[in-house]
Amino acid sequence: MAKVTAVSPFAPRSLARLEPLAGVRFATAEAGIRYKGRTDLMIAVMDEGSTAAGVLTKSKTASAPVLWCRKALKKGKARILVVNSGNANAFTGKKGTDAVELTAEHACAAVSCKPHEIYLASTGVIGEPMDAGKFAHLLEGLAGKAQADGFEAAARAIMTTDTYPKLATRTAMIGNVKVTINGFCKGAGMIAPDMATMLCFIFTDAALSSKVLQDLLNEHVETTFNCMTVDGDTSTSDTCLLFATGSAAERGQKSIDDAKSKKLSAFSAALHDLMEDLAIQVAKDGEGLSKFVTFEIAGAKSWEAARKIALSCANSPILKTAIAGQDPNWGRVVMAVGKAGEAANRDKLTIWFGPHCVARNGERAKEYDEKTVAAYMKNAEIVIRADVGVGKSSARVWTCDLTHGYVSINADYRS
Amino acid sequence: MAKVTAVSPFAPRSLARLEPLAGVRFATAEAGIRYKGRTDLMIAVMDEGSTAAGVLTKSKTASAPVLWCRKALKKGKARILVVNSGNANAFTGKKGTDAVELTAEHACAAVSCKPHEIYLASTGVIGEPMDAGKFAHLLEGLAGKAQADGFEAAARAIMTTDTYPKLATRTAMIGNVKVTINGFCKGAGMIAPDMATMLCFIFTDAALSSKVLQDLLNEHVETTFNCMTVDGDTSTSDTCLLFATGSAAERGQKSIDDAKSKKLSAFSAALHDLMEDLAIQVAKDGEGLSKFVTFEIAGAKSWEAARKIALSCANSPILKTAIAGQDPNWGRVVMAVGKAGEAANRDKLTIWFGPHCVARNGERAKEYDEKTVAAYMKNAEIVIRADVGVGKSSARVWTCDLTHGYVSINADYRS
């Protein structure tokens, strides 16, 4: 089988330019954990007083760094983030815990902080013991040379099978003060080889308590990263962390304690927008994809039900391969709606491929024209909508098609 | 992409020979519903007094014939079964109901029975209105020439993308009377093109009430057909029907009213064995497969939990492609166990590929040798076992790998 090496056809023509953000500095290194000739270690050093929130994988076989973060998040404070690629330090038993502890020890020394102010993430091969000795000693030196202008380099250091770094930036007003949100993430779908998959790190200079950050993150992760799938597989390492350095307080931004406060609405919207941007960038780098696909489900009983039906479509191998084949096989949408287990009225079900209604009220639409819809399927970006006819809720999910490229990447990864 | 036309490498060298069974007769025809030059219509005519039970798809977009059967099953009596391939009569609105009614009308006339003694199933393209006028008029003639020796011809008439007909036979003693169970099914995985997927029809000459049949079917379908998957997609048409002609009563078999009766234990075991045989035949004809794969999960909290974890493995695209690539990527088993959502103890998790322990108590096994396990992965039949370390229950699921062949079949089906 041919190796797939091409860059995703959806790689951005130019990367987002993330300006420095007061209170956080970055450094990267080539630690040689697995890759040669590229960076595989990054740190972010944050000023004292920085706050943190996070959402972590629900996997029952979560990695050692995930367990570390889960504990650290209880205090909601942050001084340093250490991320390596090349090894996920997942399913590594006591050795995994030892590696995490050794890394934390050096991180502690590097910025003179407490253990609960340290956040760790690892991405790469699973099940292989990680030798933290390869890089832990580098942390002090890295902290010394950390620079504010380092987002893109940091984003590159955490890549695994990603074909491009994923970056996004937004600004918003809190009261009269302009604040910035910068984020980057990695992931070639929910799954990169060996499961060390989606990592996302977002930084803002806003002054916000960890509780506010957590509430905002919980809310927005549902409609962004949790509405994106490549193959429906859940990683042992999924980590999304949101940090606030609070430097905007120096410019007069007053701290806000309630995530629902109207004063935060612009910030909340900007954060959502940034997370959606990053989620779409991940779906657009899905392994082996040839098409970016959006499923929009309307007429469901609840948003949760609509999302579940949309995910049932987005994770259906038989539907995703039909899309790869540019086949307007809408019958497979009927199947995927039916199998989702959520309420749907077969005899009111209406389906559109792009602007074309293909089925209405439980049967093929009268105006259905195979040639027209087949022509639409030649587009690189496909939108499939369905109204399931039982309620007023809707949801949207982003995914990609299932191609020979996906099989090649994942069948031949270690051969 | 190349068309995949080969017969499954797991096709049986010789088909099971199903002897005639008193009380049921078969006939087939070339009705030209979609295919040319092959049979696409079959009927089974049963003697008066025959009983029936069934398990049908849980899809919310079930086909018109499924809705018909659901209603007929309430009375538990059977005289005729009519099955066509080439069109699933699913998502066809009022036209679909009309087609079912026209077929039933002719079936009624053919054997002089009541509507609730008729069972219908359709398999093939979805969403395309089915013209029952093409074959309904044939039913009377077919009923007239139905013959006892017709199982294999019937099994062939219901095939869609199947690469071989699937047949199985067993005998058992009820008291001093030997009874026979003959069954056949179709399905190239859970999904054949356009979703008209698994149909299964089982006949016995035992004298059993419909309630007993239903209890037995409900019990055994869970550990057989519901433990088999190709791609995790659920059809609009799944239908498994069990009929008893009761002719063994003439040879002295006394009717039994309780499925749990000890007198039925041999029959129950034989039925289970036959259904397992057929389920494995379906998995071994999975679209594009190169390997037949069994997942055995032990140490779970309950059988249901064990099956859910096994299905999580069996439906994971990233794990199935690794198997296609003959890669002993056991980290992906860790992932699939973790994402199943059922209790599992990461630090007790133990995994075997065939006879080789690859991970023990939450980390790579000391004796793990990549070359040995890679050599095992070259086998055509792969068994992957995991003990999740939280209980005493186990379950087994059959599936196949995810190959370029699967993508080709499903991407290029209509091109």
Identity of the amino acid at A342: E
pLDDT of residue B243: 98
Q: What domains are defined for chain A?
A: 24-283 (3.60.70.12), 292-411 (3.10.20.340)
β-strand pairing of B381-387 with B292-300: parallel
Q: How far does the CA of residue B1 sit from the closest CA of chain A (Å)? A: 9
pLDDT of residue B116: 97
Q: How far is CA A134 from CA A86, A91, A113, A137, A237, in A?
A: 12, 19, 22, 7, 21
> Is A251 a residue whose pLDDT tops 60?
yes
Residues of B in contact with A61 (CB under 8 A): 334-335, 337-338, 344, 346, 349
| pLDDT grade for A57, boundaries at 50, 70 and 90 | confident
| pLDDT grade for B33, boundaries at 50, 70 and 90 | very high
Residue A101 to residue A107: CA distance in whole angstroms:
10
For residues A344-370, average pLDDT = 94
Task: Name which of A329, A338, A362 is nearest B194 (Cβ-Cβ).
Answer: A329
Contact at CB, A92 and B363, closer than 8 angstroms? yes
Residue A339 to residue B232: CA distance in whole angstroms:
10
Residues of B in contact with A344 (CB under 8 A): 60-61
- H/E stretch holding A183: strand A177-186
Share above pLDDT 70 across residues of chain A, in percent, rounded to a whole number: 94
- Cβ atoms of A182 and A204 within 8 Å: the answer is yes
Residue B382: both structure tokens together: 């792969």
**A125 has a chain B CB within 8 A of its CB:** yes
Residues of A in contact with B315 (CB under 8 A): 232
- Cβ atoms of B85 and B160 within 8 Å: the answer is yes
> Is B415 a residue whose pLDDT tops 50?
no
Contact at CB, B61 and A334, closer than 8 angstroms? yes
> Is B5 a residue whose pLDDT tops 60?
no
**A326 has a chain B CB within 8 A of its CB:** yes
Q: What is the pTM of this model?
A: 0.87
For residues B304-330, average pLDDT = 93
Residue A249 to residue A205: CA distance in whole angstroms:
9
DSSP string, A340-362: T-S---TTT-EEEETTEEEEETT
Nearest to B169 by CA among B187, B151, B153: B151
Task: Name which of B59, B232, B411 is nearest A321 (Cβ-Cβ).
Answer: B411
| Residue B7 or residue B196, greater confidence | B7
Q: Which of residues 342-381 of B touch A (CB under 8 A)?
A: 342-344, 346-347, 349, 359, 361-364
Sign of CA dihedral B72, B73, B76, B82: positive
Q: How far from the centroid of its chain's Cα atoms is residue A297's Cα?
A: 21
Task: Name which of B318, B343, B364 is nearest A410 (Cβ-Cβ).
Answer: B318
Residue B272, exposed/middle/buried by CB under 10 A (0-12, 13-18, 19+)? middle
Q: How many residues does chain B have?
A: 415
B273-296 confidence digits (pLDDT tens): 999 999 999 999 988 899 999 999
Residue A286 to residue A230: CA distance in whole angstroms:
6
Predicted complex: ipTM over 0.90: no
Residues of A in contact with B319 (CB under 8 A): 233
Residue A162: both structure tokens together: 């990603």
Residue B72 to residue B108: CA distance in whole angstroms:
13
pLDDT of residue B192: 37
Residue B143 to residue B42: CA distance in whole angstroms:
10
> Is B414 a residue whose pLDDT tops 70?
no
Residue B216: both structure tokens together: 């037995």
- Cβ atoms of A157 and A185 within 8 Å: the answer is no
B357-388 confidence digits (pLDDT tens): 999 998 999 999 999 999 999 999 999 999 99
Contact at CB, B233 and A317, closer than 8 angstroms? yes
Q: How far does the CA of residue A47 sit from the closest CA of chain B (Å)? A: 36
Residue of chain A minimizing CA distance to B96 = A363
Residue B58 to residue B185: CA distance in whole angstroms:
19
Identity of the amino acid at A381: E
Angular region, B225: left φ>0, alpha ψ -120 to 50, beta rest: alpha
> Is A410 a residue whose pLDDT tops 70?
yes
Residue A52 to residue A93: CA distance in whole angstroms:
27
First to last CA, chain A: 10
Q: How many residues does chain A have?
A: 415
Across chain B, what does the average pLDDT equal? 91
- Cβ atoms of B380 and B10 within 8 Å: the answer is yes
pLDDT of residue A365: 94
Vertex B395, ends B200 and A89: CA angle to 5°?
A: 125
Strand partners, A25: A45
| pLDDT grade for B233, boundaries at 50, 70 and 90 | low
- Cβ atoms of A74 and A106 within 8 Å: the answer is no
Contact at CB, A91 and B410, closer than 8 angstroms? no
* Rg of the Cα atoms in chain A: 22
For residues B309-316, average pLDDT = 92
pLDDT of residue A137: 96
**Which of A191, A407, A408 should we substitute to test contact with B (largest number of B Cβ atoms within 10 Å)?**
A407
Q: Note the helical H segments in A203-340.
A: 210-223, 265-283, 303-314, 317-324, 331-339
Residue A343 to residue A385: CA distance in whole angstroms:
17
Angular region, A91: left φ>0, alpha ψ -120 to 50, beta rest: left
pLDDT of residue B287: 85
Lateral strand order in the sheet of A41-46: A24-29, A41-46, A80-87, A118-125
Q: Which one of the listed residues B39, B57, B161, B197 is annotated catalytic?
A: B197
pLDDT of residue A4: 45
Q: Which one of the listed residues A163, A180, A197, A403 is annotated catalytic?
A: A197
Active site residue A399: no
A152-187 confidence digits (pLDDT tens): 999 999 998 899 999 999 999 999 999 999 999 998
B112-132 confidence digits (pLDDT tens): 999 999 999 999 888 889 999
Task: Name which of A59, A60, A331 is nearest B127 (Cβ-Cβ).
Answer: A331
β-strand pairing of A177-186 with A350-353: unpaired
Our CA dihedral for A409, A283, A122, A40, rounded to 10 degrees, sits at: 70
Q: How far does the CA of residue B412 sit from the closest CA of chain A (Å)? A: 6
- Cβ atoms of A36 and A70 within 8 Å: the answer is no
Q: How far does the CA of residue A302 sit from the closest CA of chain B (Å)? A: 16
A197-244 confidence digits (pLDDT tens): 689 999 999 999 999 999 999 999 999 998 988 776 666 678 999 999
B184-195 confidence digits (pLDDT tens): 999 875 453 333
Nearest to B273 by CA among B220, B324, B317: B220
Sign of CA dihedral A283, A289, A292, A293: negative
Q: How far is CA A152 from CA A16, A147, A167, A184, A199, in A?
A: 9, 12, 7, 8, 15
pLDDT of residue B407: 87
Q: Which of residues 69-88 of B touch A (CB under 8 A)?
A: none
The answer for residues whose C-beta is within 8 angstroms of residue A20's C-beta and 6 or more apart is A148, A149
Residues of A in contact with B300 (CB under 8 A): none
- Cβ atoms of B220 and B275 within 8 Å: the answer is yes
The answer for residues whose C-beta is within 8 angstroms of residue B112's C-beta and 6 or more apart is none
A7-46 confidence digits (pLDDT tens): 888 999 899 999 999 999 999 999 999 989 999 999 999 9
* Rg of the Cα atoms in chain B: 22
Q: Beta-carbon neighbour count of residue B288 at 10 Å?
A: 24
Identity of the amino acid at A296: E
Sign of CA dihedral A387, A391, A392, A394: negative
**Which of B226, B318, B326 should we substitute to test contact with A (largest number of A Cβ atoms within 10 Å)?**
B318
Nearest to A82 by CA among A204, A194, A239: A239
Residue B414: both structure tokens together: 């209509």
Q: How far from the centroid of its chain's Cα atoms is residue A107's Cα?
A: 25
DSSP tag of B197: -
pLDDT of residue A125: 82
Residue A57: both structure tokens together: 């994988």
DSSP string, A236-265: S--EEEEEE--GGGGGTPPPB--TT-GGGH
For residues A234-259, average pLDDT = 89
B319-330 confidence digits (pLDDT tens): 999 999 999 999
Identity of the amino acid at B373: V
pLDDT of residue B230: 79
Residue B123 to residue B130: CA distance in whole angstroms:
11
| Residue A365 or residue A406, greater confidence | A365
